[in-house]
Chains A and B, each alone.
Chain A
Amino acid sequence: MVSIEVWNASVDFPIFDAKTRSLKKAFLGKAGGRIGTENRVPIIEALRDITLSLKHGDRVGLVGHNGAGKSTLLRMLAGIYEPTRGSAEIKGRVAPVFDLGVGMDPELSGYENIIIRGLFLGMTRKQMEQRMDDIADFSELGNYLSMPIRTYSTGMRVRLALGVVTSIDPEILILDEGIGAVDAAFLDKARDRLNALVKRSGLLVFASHSDEFLMELCNSAIWMDHGQMKMRGGLREVLTAYKGRDPFENMPQETLDRLGLTGSPVLPNGETA
């Protein structure tokens, strides 16, 4: 069963400057016999007291200002940072899409990068070769797949990365805001595929500053502020509280219909007020 359980988790980053990141201070500090505050490494509390329980079918959006802890939270949910206090238990195969430049070798072709990404996400080379046609079809990159990645635009990289993560049937999909670089037509296609994926097998956590993306992909939301969860609830209420206005109110009726929404605010249990 796919789930993410986080209990009172905190993530503290030690910040080593050039001086403290050496043995010199460690030794000299001890020899002097004074272990004062100057000897301690400064810490950034990126996340504090996060308690969260996500289950199969959850599609959670993360909102918050820059530096509020969204990306750190995503990395913790992906299992990259293990909490310094508290605990996090992740059950299921995770597929994250963070910075699109990382984990892709600019000199290698699209095909080769697809294979490497797949290997990192726990697939075998053979399994990735079988999915190659599907990824090429979905990403619409065509002949570009045999070109080095450095010739790709940001949007093309997003297409490639989304093609890989959606083709391997992950159970937990973690997306950072970078995916906003794709055009509207592709987003339509990606939305259907992501929604089908989440329905089929798992859960989605998505950080974004775009109301539109959040509404397309998520059904609930978390508002992060100063490393803490300020609010958790239905997407519409959280967005309303965060933005100070209802983002749905000026939306054309046809979009609302497509998203299965009505013009009036929705409560967390799905009823309309």
Chain B
Amino acid sequence: MTDSFIVDDSLIVAGEKLGSRLILGTGGAPSMQVVAEALTASRTALCTVSIRRAGTTTDGSIVDVLAEHGVRLLPNTAGCRTAREAVTTAQLARDALGTDWVKLEVVADEHTLLPDPVELLRAAEKLVADGFDVFAYTNDDPVLARHLQRTGCVAVMPLGAPIGSGLGILNPHNIELIVAEATVPVVLDAGVGTASDAALAMELGCDAVLLASAVTRARQPALMAAAMAAAVDAGRLAYRAGRIPRRRHAQASSPTTGMPVL
């Protein structure tokens, strides 16, 4: 075993050390029991929750379930279409849950659920000025990521593909560009369909992966959560190890000297 296994490779975001590079969303799970099983299997340390009208569910409190599992809350502004809505939702989340952390999500329309860059940046500026630690869900656009970073976001979270699509990472080159310029953690958020997508995100240099549907809507959510945890670990190790360059032709791994004449 080499030194590289011993070093503490924990993710640090907003000055806090997290015990896992897999961040889970809880949306789409058929029951709180399924959420609980997925949390355990994923070994996640951070989980996003949405802010909705109180008293509409009878399935227990997600806040209690996360607390029981020692998982930190990352409230989100899912469903918001304007900066004003997102800022108000973030303020409500802070008042309700007592955390400055927020996953900022401002989508343009219901069809694509793609982030609206103008409203996103506007909301990020306001929330950072208001003392929030902003995790910005963004397009796979290196320039927008740069702006969000300059604004003071604590993490930029480019999508691999549209939310819930399971299409994987559609533009790995852009994700690499975002990583190359990053001064804050980069979290691949949205689009992950299966474990290899999560591993690829980490191999591209992302600091973490955030996913929900891939686990909560899998045939067996807890099994998929375990697969994602393993994939994130494997991808991170591969990134640190440094992959071999791609070659156009074969390169023998056996010695070319000492060949007998037969």
Do A and B originate from a single complex? no
Chain A residues near B (Cβ < 8 Å):
none
Chain B residues near A (Cβ < 8 Å):
none
